[in-house]
Amino acid sequence: MNQQSVDAGWEVVIGLEIHAQLATRSKIFSSSPTAYGAAPNSQANLVDLGYPGVLPVLNREAVRMAVKFGLATGSTIARRSVFARKNYFYPDLPKGYQISQYELPIVAKGTLDILLEDGSIKTIGITRAHLEEDAGKSTHEGLGAASGIDLNRAGTPLLEIVSEPDLRGAKEAVAYLKKIHTLVRYLEICDGNMQEGSFRCDANVSVRRFGAELGTRCEIKNVNSFRYVEKAINYEVVRQIDVLEGGGKIVQETRLYDSAKDETRPMRSKEEANDYRYFPDPDLLPVELAEDFIETVRATLPELPDEKADRFCSAYGLSRYDALVLTSGRDLADYYESVVRAAGGIPAAKLAANWVMGDFSGALNRDNLEVATARVSTDLLAGLLARIQDDTISGKIAKEVFESMWADGASADAVIEAKGLKQITDTGAIEAAIEAVMAANPGQLAEYRSGKDRLFGFFVGQTMKATAGKANPAQLNDLLKRMLAP
């Protein structure tokens, strides 16, 4: 199979089902805590274990979070939604049914705008978002022929966000997934931790000839990183096209992505699929939401990523791209704005943007840190920017200063002082250095003066070297131009 076939007149159609674990303290239908990583079955009470006679009681906080998501995506909030039972047998599903929402979900018909690679905006439809409980986990390691069941996760609240089949490729799918990821963290309804499974997705993938009816789809289950989503979809697209071009047919099935082998494999086919026998859960009353409840939730909505990006463009004069990068996380955006404020406001906005997106974000990624745990505070970074703005140091020296600050949390001034990195702005000193360079390189000087302009850079480099990089670049430029002139 080969990547080229993707381009041969096939259209890729993708819809995502995202499971976002809601950041409630207790489970959706019981009072057990939801914290991750506890000893197996230590966070499962009788309700989570599905004991005879116990009953579910809905966690209001989960409802509030679902409504928050619905409002943030311009969705319709159902004034009446209904929990239904999805029936199937599995050892990690204690009751033999999962409580979910089926015909009447709490959130429906929303939209989300994503930025495409060509810079255009595409609106993706959100079909629905419904509340449901998570299942437990089966473990097969270290137990011989037996399997272990850990029900700590059973009953954890999930918001399942289902998109329309509006996505036209792996890159779009990832852009949408990242956007939802950003949004749920902005809303503080999900911690977005993909490794711990708090944010995961199933991808429904099909291909068709342009203009044709929708093709048969396959569902790739439980992919838990942005990179794997892209790889899994790309693999699946190529596989489907190869099957169709070879005269075969796509079988509707559930597939699993194996990241080690970078391939998808069938999990179960439609014939083996369960008939889930959904019906309204008689243990739970329909969820009826009053207008004032919805309005109370609306009042708690933060500035959303798109709104924030718009504001960053207009208030700080940033490019669309920079604004989107800076608003991709609420903490990063807040950090950026604090830096701008501390560095003197609008005039520092672009410089601050470059530094927050560049060296600061780079260091975070490299050291796998969060904004909150970075040692360079907003005040410290603003202090560094001030020294760039007042020409104490050049941008290049500033990078060196930043690394020292990152390592030990010192202020820019302290680092500049300790390392003697203060910029040379004394014209006489720079002229002396230039004269020495001219004297040491008569050949190059003659060539330059006879018209070889390209050698200008050579003289910049040599003079910088002579001043240990501390010469003010702008001044150096001016002086060089004048002194090198024939």
CB of 140 to another protein, least distance (A): 12
CB of 218 to another protein, least distance (A): 21
CB of 147 to another protein, least distance (A): 8
Contact positions with another protein (CB under 8 A) in 15-74: 46, 49-58
**Dist. CA 96–CA 390, nearest whole Å:** 69
Residue 194 contacts residue 16 (beta carbons within 8 Å): no
Question: Which of 10, 69, 97, 459 is the binder for another protein (CB under 8 A)?
Answer: 97
CB of 211 to another protein, least distance (A): 32
Question: Which of 11, 17, 36, 87 is the binder for another protein (CB under 8 A)?
Answer: 87
Residue 279 contacts residue 86 (beta carbons within 8 Å): no
Q: Any idea what DSSP says for residue 4?
A: G
Question: Which of 25, 80, 91, 193 is the binder for another protein (CB under 8 A)?
Answer: 91
Binding mask 239-278 for another protein (x = CB under 8 A): ------------------------------------x-xx
CB of 59 to another protein, least distance (A): 11
CB of 149 to another protein, least distance (A): 7
| Structural tokens at position 313 | 């463009």
Cβ proximity to another protein: between 90 and 321 the closer is: 90
Beta bridge partners of 208: 11
Cβ proximity to another protein: between 283 and 426 the closer is: 283
Binding mask 389-408 for another protein (x = CB under 8 A): --------------------
Residue pointed to by tokens 């597939």: 255
Cβ proximity to another protein: between 76 and 274 the closer is: 274
Contact positions with another protein (CB under 8 A) in 136-165: 149
Question: Which residue pairs from 417-425 have beta carbons closer than 8 angstroms and sit at least 24 positions apart in sequence?
Answer: 421/393, 421/397, 421/470, 422/392, 422/393, 422/470, 423/391, 423/392, 423/393, 423/394, 423/397, 423/470, 423/471, 423/472, 424/467, 424/470, 424/471, 424/472, 425/391, 425/472, 425/475
Cβ proximity to another protein: between 95 and 470 the closer is: 95
CB of 331 to another protein, least distance (A): 37
Beta bridge partners of 451: none
Element (H, E) at 121: strand 121-133
Q: Which stretch binds another protein (CB under 8 A): 240-248, 279-287, 345-353, 446-454?
A: 279-287
**Dist. CA 289–CA 310, nearest whole Å:** 32
Question: Which of 27, 68, 95, 330 is the binder for another protein (CB under 8 A)?
Answer: 95
Residue 115 contacts residue 175 (beta carbons within 8 Å): yes
Cβ proximity to another protein: between 64 and 85 the closer is: 85
# binding residues, another protein (CB under 8 A): 28
Helix axes 395-408, 378-389, angle to 10 degrees: 160
Cβ proximity to another protein: between 31 and 193 the closer is: 31
CB of 179 to another protein, least distance (A): 35
Q: How far is CA 330 from the centre of its chain?
A: 11
**Dist. CA 107–CA 163, nearest whole Å:** 12
Residue 70 contacts residue 76 (beta carbons within 8 Å): yes
Q: Which stretch binds another protein (CB under 8 A): 81-89, 118-126, 363-371, 389-397?
A: 81-89
| Structural tokens at position 173 | 């799918």
Q: How far is CA 87 from CA 51, 74, 169, 199, 315, in A?
A: 17, 32, 33, 24, 53
Question: Which of 214, 285, 407, 446 is the binder for another protein (CB under 8 A)?
Answer: 285
3-state secondary structure of 443: helix
Q: Which stretch binds another protein (CB under 8 A): 86-94, 210-218, 235-243, 329-337?
A: 86-94
List residues binding another protein (CB under 8 A). 46, 49-58, 85, 87, 89, 91, 94-97, 149, 275, 277-279, 282-285
